[in-house]
Amino acid sequence: MSLVGKKFPNLEVDAMNEMGDTFKVNVLEEAKKNNKKVVLFWYPKDFTYVCPTEIFAFQEALKEFEDRNTMVIGASCDTPEVHFAWLNTAKDNGGIEGVTFPLLADTNRNLSNQLGILQTGEQHYNEETDTYTMDGPFITWRATYLIDEEGTVFAENVNVEPVGRNIPEYLRMVDAYTHFQKHGEVCPANWEEGKDTLSENRDSVADYLAKH
């Protein structure tokens, strides 16, 4: 079920940073208490292949997000200790050394399960043991949530493991939503900062389409 237009779940999750500090993060409260937007991106697993390319891409764009009053938080179901090991492994050895934003460690799957982004398979019943088992790796899809200063989700995206994200699109989404917040003008397809926007009426749309 989509969270767009709704408050992000009010849950604390373990987190790790590059200094080896373990702490609790409540994404909803982080947005509200800091009066900042949040980009929360989930990736399947530490020490994999596509995931570090995304993490480094977010790191390279970190200042651009910060300039937009936006926090970046990564997340997976790995433990804090595995996060720390990955954060302290050199880039040329498969690590993410140099990444400075926090990584959530949703080891108990409480948050990812509530978000509905866990990869799960079929449930099987064993008559001999009277037990149920589940197929599936119980890791997350590549899910991204854009959250405003009140803790409300204004955009979300979920895609399969093999397909990495396009980080500039999230910058564009933050710009577009911020423009709407400030000016009350809506942003057409492929809008970027500095381009024409629309008022919410038919004449405005007709004028825009005539120009473009």
Q: Which residues are identified as catalytic?
A: 51
| Sheet hosting strand 153-159, strand order edge to edge | 22-26, 12-16, 103-105, 70-76, 37-42, 142-147, 153-159
Whether 76 and 104 have beta carbons less than 8 Å apart is answered as yes
The structure tokens 């090991």 sit at 85
End-to-end Cα distance, the chain: 35
Question: How far apart, in whole angstroms, are the C-alpha atoms of residue 133 and residue 11?
Answer: 27
- Indicate the DSSP class of residue 6: S
- For residue 169, the Cα-to-chain-centroid distance in whole angstroms is 12
What is the SS3 assignment for 168?
helix
Sign of dihedral through CA atoms 62, 34, 42, 74? positive
Neighbours of 74 (CB within 10 A): 23
